Structure 1
Amino acid sequence: MEKGIAVKDITPGAEVRGVFAVTQAAQAQSRNGPYWRLTLADAGGSVEAKIWSPLSAEFTDIPTGALVLVEARAGTYRDQIQLTVEHLRLLDEAESAAVDPAELMPSSPFPLDDMLEELLELVREEFTHPGWRKLTQSVFKDDALRAAFRTCPAAKGVHHAYAGGLLEHTLSVFRLCRRFADQYAELDRQTLLAGALFHDFGKIREFSGGIANDYTDEGRLIGHLELCIEMLTPFLAKSGLEEGLQRHLRHLILSHHGTAEFGAVRLPQTAEALALHFADNMDAKMAQCRDLFAQIAEGSWTPYQATLNRALYKGPRTPDTPPAKSRPKSRHAPREELLSLL
C-alpha cells in the first residue's frame, strides 16, 4: 500500500493524504461537541490532528498503534502544523502488513550497529577494575538486554524519541563523561562512566517501543530510575564490586535528573553525580535544539518549545566554519568479536 505524504513534507495549507501510525488518541469536548485529538507519526516525525464534530461521532475507538489512512487539510496552531481531518479509515490487517515499517517508525539517523560496536569497544577499553569490568560485561553479554537496549527509544517525545534513541543518547553521554574525566582529576573515571552507561538503562522497561511507543504500566508506576536499580541488582550481586562503589552507582542513577522537580530521587551529592547530571542534561538539550532547528521553514526562529519554555534563534554561522560532523562510522572490531572479548 502506498504511504502517501510524509509528515516532514506537510506544509500549512496543504491537502494531506497518507498512511500514518496513531501514537496518541484522546476524546475531548469543545463548544461545538466532542472531538478527537490525535498524534499521527511516521519515520519523519509526528503531527497533531483533530477530528471535529460531527465527523468525530463516527469513531467509538481509535486505538494507539493502529495504522490509518488520513485525508486532511494542514493549518497551524501556536506556530505548529496541525491537521483538520476530513476522512480517516483504520487499515485492516492485510493493508497494515503491506506498509513498509521503515516508513512509519522514526529511528536514529546513525547506524545502530556502528553505535553499539563503538560503545562495546569503549566499555572494554575503559573498565579495567575487576568489579566494574565484570558488571558491565555481564550486562552486555545478556542477549535480550543488549537487543532491547539497541532499539529502545530514550523518551516518548522530548529527546531521542525514536528507535535507537537510548543507544545514541547513552553513547553521547558516555563520550561527554570521558571528556569530563580527562579535564577534572577529582572525578573517579570508572564510577562516572558506569553511571553514564547505565543511567537510563531502565528505559528498556519504561517504554514499549515500536510504532506506538508509550509508557508501560511499570514505567508509569515505578519509572526508569528505580527500574534500572532493579535490573542491575542481580548483576551487581555477582560482580564482586565493592559495596561503596555499588552504592555510588545507585546514587548516580537515582540522582541524575538533578532535582526532585524533574524526577530525581535524590539530589546529586557527589562530584560524579553532578558531572553525570550535566552531561545528561546537555545531550538532551542539544538533541532538542537539533530537532527544533530542523523545523525551521523560513527565517531563523524555531517554533515555541514548551519543554524549553521558549523558541530558539538559529544564529548565523561564523564564515569558513566547517559544518558539524556527523557521527563517524565505527573504527572498531565487529560486534561479534567485541562480544567475545567482553
Structure 2
Amino acid sequence: MEKQLMAYQLGEKMESFVLLKAADVRTAKNNKQYIAFTFEDTSGEMVGMYWDASAQDIETFKAGRVVHLTGKREEYNGKAQVKILQLRLPAGGEPTDPGLFVTRAPMKKSDMVEEINQVLFEITNPTWNRIVRFLINKFQSAFFTFPAAKTNHHAYEGGLAYHTISILRLAHSVADQYPKVNAPLLYAAAIIHDLGKTVELSDPVTTQYTVKGNLLGHISLLDGEIVEACDTLKLDPTAEDVVLLRHMILSHHGLLEYGSPVRPQLLEAEILHDLDELDASIMAIQTGLDYTQPGEFSEKIFGMDNRRFFDFEGAGLTDKDTKKPES
C-alpha cells in the first residue's frame, strides 16, 4: 500500500499521489522560474521546490490538481521538505479527485452544525442573537467547510468551524468558573469572531488570500458585515449592544501589530483573545508533535516563534492509558 506523505522518514525515497495545495511561480536569482509547491494528502502537508520550471510545467502543475510525486524527504532550516525527482499527472485509472487528499476536521460537519445551533439558544440578548443567526445563515456553507487559516493552525477543511467550537467549549468553562462574565456576549462573539475568513480566504482546497483579504483583513471585513446585518435587520449599528459586539470582534487579535484596530477593553474581549490564542497555540503544537517521534523535538513551528517542542514518552496519554494493572 502506498505510504502517505508524512509517513516518510528523513532520507527515504517517496512515491505518492498528492494534491498540489499551492503552486507559486517564483523567479530565482539566475532569473529562471521555479515553482514553490505545497503538497498535501490526508496525513498533512510538505513543501518542495521545482527548479527551472518551463512554461509547460507552469501550465501543467497548477494548484488544485492531483499529481504523482517521486522524490526524497529532506530537511531545510529545521523543516521537512521534498526534493522533487519527478512529477507527472495521473494516468488512466489513477486518482484525480482532489477531495481524496484534503485534510479534514476531526468532527463531522453535521455534528459541528448541531453544536453551533445549540449554543445559539444560549445567546439570550436578542440583538446579539439576531446578528449572529443572520451572519451564520449568510455564510453557512463556507463557515463549515473553510479552514481557519492558510497555514499555522486548523488549516484544513472544516477547520474554521472546528476552531470556533473549540473556543466555545473553552468559553463555557470560563463562564462556569467566573460568574461575572457575560456569557451570551462571549458566546456570540466566539461564534462569529473569525467569520470574516470566509471572505479573506479563497476556498478550502487551494487556500489563498483574496484581494479583499489582503487589503482589508478578516477583522475589518467582519465588522463591515455586522454593520450590513444591522441595516437589513433594522438595528442601529451604534447602539450599545451592537458596539459591544463589534468591539469583541475588532479587538480579538489583542494587539494593534497583530491586526486589531483596538485592544480589548471589555473583560469578555480579553477572554476571547486569550482563548483564541490558546486554541491556536495548542493546535499548532499538536500538529507539529503529530509527526514527531517520542524522545525527539518537533520541526520548527512558525506560529510559535519557530520554537521546537519536545515529544516525551507518555505525552498525550490519559489516566486510563497510564493506569497500572491491579495486582
Q: Which amino acid aligns with 2:251?
A: S
* Structure 1 residue 201, shift from structure 2 partner: 0.7
Label 1:27 to 1:240 Cα distance change in 2 as closer, same or farther (>3 A): closer
CA contact (8 A) 2:66 2:96 kept: no
Label 1:244 to 1:17 Cα distance change in 2 as closer, same or farther (>3 A): same
Give the equivalent residue in structure 1 for 2:325. none
Label 1:239 to 1:176 Cα distance change in 2 as closer, same or farther (>3 A): farther
What CA distance in whole angstroms lies between the structure 1 residues aligned with 2:8 and 2:313?
Answer: 26
Q: Equivalent of 1:130, from 126, 131, 146?
A: 126
Label 1:320 to 1:138 Cα distance change in 2 as closer, same or farther (>3 A): closer
What CA distance in whole angstroms lies between the structure 2 residues aligned with 1:197 and 1:268?
Answer: 17
Give the equivalent residue in structure 1 for 2:82. 83
Give the equivalent residue in structure 2 for 1:50. 49
Cα displacement string for residues 114-139 of structure 1 (whole angstroms, at most 9, x for unaligned residues): 12201111212x11222233233333
CA contact (8 A) 2:5 2:16 kept: no
Q: Which amino acid aligns with 1:313?
A: F
Cα displacement string for residues 288-329 of structure 1 (whole angstroms, at most 9, x for unaligned residues): 1210110103524211212212111234449872469xxxxx
Label 1:239 to 1:311 Cα distance change in 2 as closer, same or farther (>3 A): farther
What CA distance in whole angstroms lies between the structure 2 residues aligned with 1:211 and 1:240?
Answer: 36
Give the equivalent residue in structure 1 for 2:19. 21
For residues 1-342 of structure 1, the aligned pairs below 5 Å read: 4-24=2-22, 25-29=24-28, 35-53=34-52, 59-61=57-59, 62-90=61-89, 98-124=95-121, 126-140=122-136, 142=137, 145-237=139-231, 238=233, 240=235, 243-309=239-305, 310-317=307-314, 321-322=319-320
SS at 2:149 equivalent:
coil
* Structure 1 residue 208, shift from structure 2 partner: 1.4
| TM-score under structure 1 length normalisation | 0.83
What CA distance in whole angstroms lies between the structure 1 residues aligned with 2:218 and 2:27?
Answer: 30
CA contact (8 A) 1:131 1:239 kept: no
Label 1:188 to 1:89 Cα distance change in 2 as closer, same or farther (>3 A): same
| TM-score under structure 2 length normalisation | 0.86
Shifted more, 105-114 versus 15-24: the winner is 15-24
* Structure 1 residue 95, shift from structure 2 partner: 7.4
Q: Which amino acid aligns with 2:208?
A: D
Cα displacement string for residues 217-243 of structure 1 (whole angstroms, at most 9, x for unaligned residues): 111111111111222223334165881
In the alignment, structure 2 segments of 5+ residues that lack a partner are: 323-327
Q: Which amino acid aligns with 1:221?
A: L
Q: Which amino acid aligns with 1:281?
A: E
What CA distance in whole angstroms lies between the structure 2 residues aligned with 1:43 and 1:133?
Answer: 36
What CA distance in whole angstroms lies between the structure 2 residues aligned with 1:226 and 1:45?
Answer: 31
What CA distance in whole angstroms lies between the structure 2 residues aligned with 1:109 and 1:302?
Answer: 22
Q: Identical aligned pairs, as a percentage?
A: 28
What CA distance in whole angstroms lies between the structure 1 residues aligned with 2:145 and 2:55?
Answer: 37
Q: Which amino acid aligns with 1:271?
A: L
Q: Which amino acid aligns with 2:200?
A: E
CA contact (8 A) 1:11 1:81 kept: no
Aligned residues: 316
Q: Which amino acid aligns with 1:269?
A: Q
CA contact (8 A) 2:152 2:302 kept: no
Label 1:260 to 1:95 Cα distance change in 2 as closer, same or farther (>3 A): farther
What CA distance in whole angstroms lies between the structure 1 residues aligned with 2:58 and 2:188?
Answer: 48
SS at 2:243 equivalent:
helix
What CA distance in whole angstroms lies between the structure 1 residues aligned with 2:101 and 2:151?
Answer: 16
Instruction: Identify which of structures 1 and 2 has the higher relative contact order when contacts are C-alpha pairs closer than 8 Å and 6+ apart.
Output: 1
SS at 1:59 equivalent:
helix
Label 1:48 to 1:121 Cα distance change in 2 as closer, same or farther (>3 A): same
* Structure 1 residue 4, shift from structure 2 partner: 4.8
Label 1:170 to 1:113 Cα distance change in 2 as closer, same or farther (>3 A): same
Give the equivalent residue in structure 2 for 1:331. none
Q: What do you get for the CA RMSD once the two structures are aligned? A: 2.8
